[in-house]
Structure 1
Amino acid sequence: MKVKNIVKELGLSVFCGDESLDREVTGGYVSDLLSDVMGNASEGDVWVTLQTHKNVMAVASLKEVAAVILVKGHKPDEDTLAQGIEEEIPLLGTEMETFELTGKLYELIQNQNGG
């Protein structure tokens, strides 16, 4: 499944990274703790968080995640947006709560993988 399919299916906002919406999504990871993401997220994951500071994009780049989704209506800080543009990582947003979004995201990815 591609990031652009998730954006469409879940009605997500795209803050930056339009040029990278064709990235392949292989899974997901949910955490607001950067050290946890650094230790456990995998390349190709969609990272769900409410953190909005620029270190999120540094970790996203390090782990080569497919995209970052901000939940609960959180908006990226200006420097986060700039970092996302520089790293060419899709930074997405939703008004949904984390629990609701992750349930829908899990279902999408499972259906795509025949599960």
Structure 2
Amino acid sequence: MTDHTIHATYAQVYNTLRDASATLEYLKKEGVEEGVEPHAGAAMWGVRFAITVLYPLLPCQPAPPVDYDPQKLLDLAAHWRDAAFDLGEFAPEPVLRVVRGEEGATRAPGDGVQGA
């Protein structure tokens, strides 16, 4: 194979992995049935790990969908279960947060919950 053919093949694999990552992310968020989301999450992070491994060979392609810092990748490999189940540093940002009123303040309807 010529260098151009090898590069084109890597690019094709890289883009296929990016598409698979996006599909798995959709399945993880939307879910097709109870209990599937962690499996989709684990597979998604595995595919994203593969994407970040290939990226240095293909700087001409779009960057990986996640931070591709080597230390972060090692943390991901060590804590893949947390990533699959959205735990710890992999937990999504909360949509709502509890807000405590100040002392002496009057309470209005809806106090206590705000959008993030």
Scaled by the length of structure 1, the TM-score of the pair is: 0.28
Q: Which has the higher strand share?
A: 1
Structure with the bigger RCO (C-alpha within 8 Å, sep 6+) is 1
